[in-house]
Chains A and B, each alone.
Chain A
Amino acid sequence: DTAVSQTPKYLVTQMGNDKSIKCEQNLGHDTMYWYKQDSKKFLKIMFSYNNKELIINETVPNRFSPKSPDKAHLNLHINSLELGDSAVYFCASSQEDRKGPQFFGPGTRLTVL
């Protein structure tokens, strides 16, 4: 069974559209994250949720809105997509003590045309 899964794997859309990426983990972890990896492979944290509560919002434009319906899910909705949003988005999770390893999903490659 996949530990951290994301859908879709690829997303191609036009500028100005709204899209969502879904993430689910079956590890029983309390903390989940969204990361953005740019074309230079730089990985930057966007959001962190613990027990469905937003803990970190790293100066991400408010066009990005995460939603955690329960501990196992963290979705990312993006409004009014821009060219600069093109990147690979990774979901990850870790145990509540947040000092251990993070488990990453396979990523969603978003291309905005």
Chain B
Amino acid sequence: SQQGEEDPQALSIQEGENATMNCSYKTSINNLQWYRQNSGRGLVHLILIRSNEREKHSGRLRVTLDTSKKSSSLLITASRAADTASYFCATGPGTYKYIFGTGTRLKVLA
């Protein structure tokens, strides 16, 4: 089974609304990262949160991490049409391997 699973699989919102997506994982981690993938492009790193951190902000992004529940959430505030993309979480167990989730497809309607 997959290490990271995002929820929901797809999300459609209006421009200006907030978008929240969740990631659950199974094993202990060193850090958790969120990536964005625009259609037909490679993944772009958004934010990294370490296992000893609970919340992190970057611009309109807010990430939380709950290691007791093995889950993380990504909040995008005041969404824009340009935020339309797939969002992936990746968990790093500290080896040369990151395991990616299944992704949340976000569509922001203008």
Chain A interfacial positions (CB closer than 8 Å to B): 4, 31, 35, 40-45, 48, 50, 55-56, 58, 90, 92, 98-107
Nearest 5 interchain pairs by C-beta: A104-B42, A101-B45, A43-B100, A48-B96, A55-B96
Expressed in whole angstroms, the Cα–Cα distance for A55 and B96 within the complex equals 7
Cβ of B102 under 8 Å from chain A = yes
User: Closest approach, in angstroms, between the C-beta of A6 and any C-beta of chain B?
Assistant: 8
Q: Is chain B's binding surface mostly helix, strand, loop or mixed? A: strand
The interface residues of chain B lying within 8 Å CB-to-CB of A42 are: 2, 100, 102-103
Can you offer 10 A-B residue contacts whose CB atoms are under 8 A? A42-B100, A42-B102, A43-B103, A44-B100, A45-B97, A56-B97, A99-B92, A101-B45, A105-B42, A107-B42
Interface centre among A4, A43, A103 (most CB of B within 10 A): A43
* Contact call B88/A43, Cβ cutoff below 8 A: yes
Count B-side interface residues using an 8 Å CB cutoff: 27
User: Closest approach, in angstroms, between the C-beta of B68 and any C-beta of chain A?
Assistant: 21
The interface residues of chain B lying within 8 Å CB-to-CB of A98 are: 92, 95-96
Expressed in whole angstroms, the Cα–Cα distance for A92 and B37 within the complex equals 14
* Contact call B41/A101, Cβ cutoff below 8 A: no
* A4 partner, pick from B42, B48, B98, B99, beta carbons under 8 A: B42
8 Å CB interface, B18-75 against A: 30-31, 33, 35, 37, 40-45, 48
Cβ of B86 under 8 Å from chain A = yes
Expressed in whole angstroms, the Cα–Cα distance for A104 and B98 within the complex equals 13
The interface residues of chain A lying within 8 Å CB-to-CB of B42 are: 4, 90, 92, 104-107
* A43-B88, A107-B42 known; A102+B98 contact, CB < 8 A: yes
* Contact call B30/A99, Cβ cutoff below 8 A: yes
Expressed in whole angstroms, the Cα–Cα distance for A45 and B101 within the complex equals 12
* Contact call B99/A45, Cβ cutoff below 8 A: yes
User: Closest approach, in angstroms, between the C-beta of A57 and any C-beta of chain B?
Assistant: 11
* A41-B102, A41-B103, A43-B88 known; A104+B96 contact, CB < 8 A: no
